[in-house]
Amino acid sequence: MKLLPVLEPVTDESCCVPAGAPVLGADEARQQAVVFKALADPNRLRLLSILKAASPGATCVCDLTEPLDLSQPTVSHHLKILLEAGLLHREKRGTWAYFSLIPGALDNVAGVLADL
Amino acid sequence: MKLLPVLEPVTDESCCVPAGAPVLGADEARQQAVVFKALADPNRLRLLSILKAASPGATCVCDLTEPLDLSQPTVSHHLKILLEAGLLHREKRGTWAYFSLIPGALDNVAGVLADL
């Protein structure tokens, strides 16, 4: 008598090889997404561009309204998001707040992309 | 008779030197923000991380649901955003769509940060 080989049942997932656990953990991904969310706005990118050009100097918030044609509350709102994402440093001088790019902050974001 | 020096009137803008026009143009900033918006989500970062690990190979959409514990429509939604941002390549093989990271796409985003 000839025996037929026993075949494993075909599952729904048989189309492909499982990709395994993601390399990037959930907590780390959440933290990194905050920084990319801060970068995900044209006006914030333009603010960073101005602050980078002025780097390592600090720029008064009062000087950032005109180049972007935005109101000061709007500029302050965007600067707060960039500050909370760890990209900017804020310093009070008299009435005005001065902002500067944290050295290496943008390089660190580029590093996140390289290490994904 | 002793003449006093004439002083220029102090304007509201006297606190600081104008920052000038932003280095990054409005249109370019809008385009770049789309890519950062695609990156601004923890699940999308984790998807990229899986696809990068599989690179240059392509991964079936059916293999991306389990590692992230997400439904297939949700994974497909995130993949569509990454695709539209120019980060992924999509290929249909029979019933399933296979996704792969476009070579150099993440390096290009890092380049955007370096050139801000």
Digit-coded pLDDT (tens) for A74-99: 999 999 999 999 999 999 999 999 99
Comparing C-alpha atoms, which of A48, A84, A51 is closest to residue B29? Answer: A48
Nearest-Cα residue of chain B relative to residue A43: B29
Least confident of A4-8, A13-17, A93-97, B108-112: A13-17
**Chain mean pLDDT for chain B:** 86
Compute the nearest-CA separation of A3 from chain B (Å): 34
Cβ contacts (< 8 Å) between B37 and chain A: which residues? 36-37, 40
pLDDT at B21: 59
**Chain mean pLDDT for chain A:** 86
CATH number of B26-105: 1.10.10.10
pLDDT at A73: 94
What is the C-alpha separation between B44 and B30, in angstroms, rounded? Answer: 20
pLDDT at B22: 62
Tokens linked to B2: 């002793």
pLDDT at B78: 98
Q: State the complex-level ipTM.
A: 0.81
* CB within 8 Å of chain A, chain B residues 24-83: 24, 26, 29-30, 32-33, 36-37, 39-50, 52-54, 59-60, 62-64, 66-68
Domain A26-114 has CATH 1.10.10.10: yes
> B29, A37: Cβ pair inside 8 Å?
no
Cβ contacts (< 8 Å) between B113 and chain A: which residues? 39, 106-107, 109-110
- Degrees to nearest 5, angle at CA A79 with A74 and A81: 100
The three-state secondary structure class of B16 is coil
How many residue pairs from chains A and B have C-beta atoms closer than 8 A?
156
Compute the nearest-CA separation of B6 from chain A (Å): 26
B3 touching A, CB under 8 A? no
pLDDT at A8: 45
Q: What is the DSSP string of B50-106?
A: HHHHHTTS-EEGGGSHHHHT--HHHHHHHHHHHHHTT-EEEEEETTEEEEEEPTTHH
Confidence band, pLDDT 50/70/90 cuts, at residue A52: very high
pLDDT above 90 covers a percentage of chain A that reads 77
What is the C-alpha separation between B34 and B86, in angstroms, rounded? Answer: 10
Give the side-chain half-sphere CA count within 13 A for A113.
24
- pLDDT tens, position by position, B14-68: 444 455 556 799 999 999 999 999 999 999 999 999 999 999 999 999 999 999 9
Confidence band, pLDDT 50/70/90 cuts, at residue A47: very high
A114 touching B, CB under 8 A? yes
Compute the nearest-CA separation of B4 from chain A (Å): 29
